[in-house]
Structure 1
Amino acid sequence: MEWLNALDDDAAARHAAGLRRELRPRGAAIDLAGNDYLGLSRHPEVLAAAAGALAEFGLGATGSRLVRGTTAVHEALETGLADLLGAESALVYSSGYLANLGAVRALVRDGTLVVSDAHNHASIVDGCRLACAGRAGRAGAATVVAPHADPAAVRDILAAHPGRPAVVVTESVFSVDGDLAPLAELHAVARAHGALLLVDDAHALGVLGPRGAGGVAAAGLAGEPDVVVTATLSKSLGAAGGVVAGPRQLHRLLVDTGRTFIYDTALPPAVAAGALAALRLLAGGDALRAELHARTARAVARLRAEGLEVSAPDGGVVSVAAPSPDEAFAWAAACRERGVAVGCFRPPSTPDGRARLRLTVGVGVPAEDFDHALDIIIKERP
């Protein structure tokens, strides 16, 4: 049929450009691809908490919290997240992706200008599109993409639209290169122009800040009334789900009107219970964070010593440039065949169009395995 032929043509074009993607068995590789930074996904206390809730509540949530009812586990998790992040309140979602969609949509009103960093995650990009475009968006709302990590450019964009409601959106630790946004400077610019600052703290939660409270806390912005934080529970917490944290009025708005909360089946109680146990461990995990940063520095030094182009990460993401999408794909495949799992990032996942291997440093990997994985990555370079 014609539409299937068109799909085949599109797939062939992606293949020719080195942009095909494959589902494959997870296997028993040394994991430098997943985001379990602190190794909590298999911690005995986390598994025990999840198992207890699984026995009590069953496998799934069976509906949204507004329809089926909330649980004490969800509420305890939200209280704990709000406390760690220094926010008045927090609302848990079934994924970090949905949390970002919901947060952006909630903060955009008629006529709002959204200023989005050029390296922002796809969930933020999609949130901006949904909030600002088409009949489902807000009338007169628009998104302007700002140069990466450039407060002066953000200032100029806001200054060109005086009196207009605005939201500045950024990641804290960026998901591709692992660099940290200049959050204090961005907040100062946003506040000077009456704008809100929305920060996706996904890759900083558990990694940066006091008690692992994230990049916003590390910048001294926790609890500021014009700052909203989102994060995923699937990285340092080793679980699944997402959170939006901020003033209590925002929590009320999200529960009343947020489509990605109202119409989505809730995070399973067993996952919430595991995340809550991980949250308590994370807050006391200074030694784990120190080991994470030491390993990250060791990886960067070793890879650069071999002449590889490596990012200067502030968290646990190490980005290694590849010559082309095809070579990145082949490099990652060769590592996998040698027992090392790494991320392979190619357009459109890379904001600058350059292909990379992305290594995520996790302290759950034994130190000798981590160093062996670096040897393999170096040996299998294109």
Structure 2
Amino acid sequence: MAFDFIAAALDKRRSEGLIRSRKTINSAQGPLIEIAGQHYINFSSNDYLAMRRSSVVMQAWVDGVSEYGGGSGASPLVTGYTNAHQALEEYIATELNRDKVLLFNSGFAANQAVCQALFAQKHSEFQDLIIADKLMHASFIEGAQGSLAKLSRFKHNDLQHLQRLLNTNIQSPQQSVLVATEGVFSMDGDQAPLPELAIKTKESNAWLMVDDAHGFGTLGENGRGVIEAHNMTQQQVPILMATFGKAIGTAGAFVAGSADLIDYLINFAKHYIYSTAMPAAQAYATLMSLQAKQNSERRTILAQRIEQFKSLAIQAGLSLIPSNSAIQPLLIGDAKQASLASEKLKSLGLWVTAIRYPTVPKNTDRLRITLTAAHEPRDIQALVDALQIVLQENKKVIV
């Protein structure tokens, strides 16, 4: 019968311990969440600066809805682009020293838009190239696969492998070549060697794109991400994408670059042209969050929590994947064992999500621990104590 594959695919996922399901959050206050009447300390949130429920963001939403209404009412090229959107774009462009910025409804849409707008047609007799880090986010990889460019992937943060791919695949200066990486990798929490990547891409007449969804807001003196942390210019990183749904505490995303790049996306990026614009109230709340004075203090607190967790984890003998960011993965190596460890932690009042294949490569299933400025020192201690208990009970878990 038609579509029999649906039930078969789900049965296969269940048998492998890889089925996905949703949990309804009844309430969220500070680091606590309530699910099915039970309360947990949440170590699976990307709200790194705890801005989502801050007084600044909450009040900005109220003021924004009062001024602009609940939605935008149209696509940006019709009547959906307001002074709130313009103000947010101009502020980010100034902060990042970029010519222009373009807002998107999600990072997924932004990544897809870049790939499919820049590589929607053949520009010469030679095939254009996209060369992405092996751990690049699925939204970008899917966008690249749907483009007319040839997609190659270099080993994670491996500059020598990248160079070999550049040498092998570039046949003419007429080819458009895009090298893509993440600022902070979403599953491992480590960072890309951006200065070195910028040098290699320039030498090969390629462009470098950085997806800084997990660095924007947390890194750099003013929280402007890896670009600020490394003082990277627009010439070094011609395309920058970042999101607002993590450290900024709202939703949506942006692409920053040259005036020509942004104007090109406005005219050729279907994800932008044919989507209703983000609500103006959302753009206003995002701007207020970016300008909030408490961001600096919250970044300091977050850094303290990261150092506390890493120090206690070392003392406890936990084997963490090396990371200096708010993302602290603990490798398990087996999907079912990772799920079991997650369930045991829940029984102790801690919400730590198991990340399994295909989100991560096979045999790298892990507990993805995320720390925020909302966590207290006692929360971090409770987490490490619970991890020790759970991992000792489960002898198959890699520690």
TM-score (normalizing by structure 1): 0.92
Letter of the structure 2 residue corresponding to residue 71 of structure 1: T
1:15-67 per-position Cα deviation (integer Å, ceiling 9, x unaligned):
11110111112224222111011111111111111111112222222321112
Whole-angstrom distance in 1 between the partners of 2:315 and 2:2: 50
Q: Give, as a single letter, the amino acid of the residue that structure 2 aligns with 1:274.
A: A
- CA distance in structure 1 between the partners assigned to 2:325 and 2:283 by the alignment: 25
Q: Distance in 2 between matches of 1:307 and 1:367?
A: 19
Residue 128 of structure 2 corresponds to residue 112 of structure 1 = yes
Aligned to 2:31: none
Find the residue that maps to 1:67 and give its secondary structure.
coil
Q: Offset of 1:219 from its aligned partner?
A: 1.9
Matches of 1:324 and 1:3, distance apart in 2: 34
The structure 1 segments of at least 4 consecutive aligned residues displaced by more than 4 Å after TM superposition are none
Verify: 1:290 aligned to 2:300, yes or no. yes
**Unpaired segments ≥5 residues, structure 1:** 132-137
Q: Which amino acid aligns with 1:332?
A: S
Deviation at 1:240? 0.6
The equivalent position to 2:191 in structure 1, one of 180, 185, 189, is: 180
CA distance in 2, matches of 1:75, 1:152: 41
Superposition map of 1:158-169 within 5 A: 158-160=166-168, 161-163=170-172, 164-169=175-180
Does structure 2 retain, via aligned residues, the 8 Å contact 1:171–1:199? yes
Give the Cα separation in 2 of the matches to 1:226 and 1:232.
17
Question: Within 5 A, what are the aligned runs for 1:76-155?
Answer: 76-108=87-119, 110=122, 111-131=127-147, 138=148, 141-155=149-163
Q: What fraction of aligned residue pairs are identical, expressed as a percent?
A: 29
Q: Deviations over 1:317-348 (max 9, x none)?
A: 10001141011112212222332222221011
Query: RMSD of the alignment, in Å?
Result: 1.8
Moved more, 34-43 or 344-353: 344-353
User: Is there any run of 5+ residues in structure 2 with no aligned partner, and where?
Assistant: 26-33, 395-399
1:355 matched to 2:365? yes
Q: CA deviation at 1:165?
A: 2.2
Displacement of 1:292: 1.5
Displacement after TM superposition at 1:305 (Å): 3.0
Superposed displacement of residue 262, structure 1: 0.8
Task: Give the conservation status (yes or no) of the 8 Å contact 2:98–2:257.
Answer: yes
Answer whether contact 2:202 2:236 (CA < 8 A) is retained.
Answer: no
1:66 counterpart SS class:
coil
User: How far apart, CA to CA, are the structure 2 residues paired with 1:29 and 1:113?
Assistant: 46
Counterpart contact for 1:184–1:220, Cα < 8 Å: no
Q: Distance in 1 between matches of 2:268 and 2:333?
A: 46
- The residue type equivalent to 1:232 in the other structure is T
Q: Is the 8 A contact 1:40 1:364 kept in 2?
A: no
**Could you say if the C-alpha distance between residues 260 and 326 of structure 1 is closer, same or farther in structure 2, counting changes exceeding 3 Å?**
same
2:343 maps to what in 1? 333
Give the Cα–Cα distance (whole angstroms) in 1 for the partners of residues 161 and 311 of structure 2.
32
Determine the C-alpha separation between the residues in 1 that align with 2:224 and 2:151: 29
Which residue number in structure 1 is paired with residue 7 of structure 2?
8
**Mapped pair 1:224 → 2:235:** yes
Q: Is the 8 A contact 2:208 2:236 kept in 1?
A: no
Q: How many residues align?
A: 372
Mapped partners of 2:192, 2:82: distance in 1 = 36
Contact 1:206–1:213 (8 Å) recurs in 2:
yes
User: Using the alignment, how far apart are the partners of 1:226 and 1:200 within structure 2?
Assistant: 11
Structure 2 CA distance for aligned equivalents of residues 252 and 268 of structure 1: 21
Q: Does 1:204 align with 2:212?
A: no
| CA distance in structure 1 between the aligned counterparts of 2:384 and 2:83, rounded to whole angstroms | 43
Query: How far, CA to CA, are the matches of 1:211 and 1:104 in structure 2?
Result: 29
- Greater relative CO, 1 or 2 (CA 8 Å, sep 6+): 1
User: Distance between the aligned counterparts of 2:385 and 2:272, measured in 1?
Assistant: 44
> Does the CA-based 8 Å contact 2:100-2:262 persist in structure 1?
yes
2:328 pairs with 1:318: yes
Cα deviation 1:131-188 (Å, max 9, x = unaligned) = 2xxxxxx3xx201111110122111211222423211000011000101100110110
* Counterpart residue identity of residue 344, structure 2: A
Deviation at residue 351 of structure 1 after TM alignment: 3.4
CA distance in 1, matches of 2:367, 2:353: 5
Distance (Å, rounded) in 2 between the aligned partners of 1:75 and 1:374: 45
Change (3 A) 1:17 1:227: same
Distance in 2, matches of 1:70 and 1:209, equals 30
What is the TM-score when the length of structure 2 is the normalising length? 0.88
Asked if 2 retains the 8 angstrom alpha-carbon contact of 1:195 and 1:226, the reply is no
Which residue identity lines up with residue 324 of structure 1 in the other structure? D
Q: Is the 8 Å Cα contact of residues 44 and 369 (structure 2) preserved in structure 1?
A: yes
Answer yes or no: is the 8 Å Cα contact 1:118–1:146 preserved in 2. Answer: yes
**Quick one: distance in 1 between partners of 2:50 and 2:345?**
22
Mean Cα deviation higher: 160-169 or 32-41: 160-169
Give the whole-Å Cα distance in 2 for the aligned partners of 1:215 and 1:147.
21
Q: State the distance in 1 between where 2:73 and 2:138 align.
A: 28
1:189 aligned residue? 200
SS, match of residue 125 in structure 1: helix
The Cα of 1:271 is off from its aligned counterpart by 1.8
* Cα distance, 1:353 vs structure 2: 4.2
Structure 2 distance, partners of 1:3, 1:90, is 45
Q: Which amino acid aligns with 1:87?
A: R
Cα drift, residue 301 of structure 1: 2.7
Deviation at 1:364, TM superposition (A): 1.8
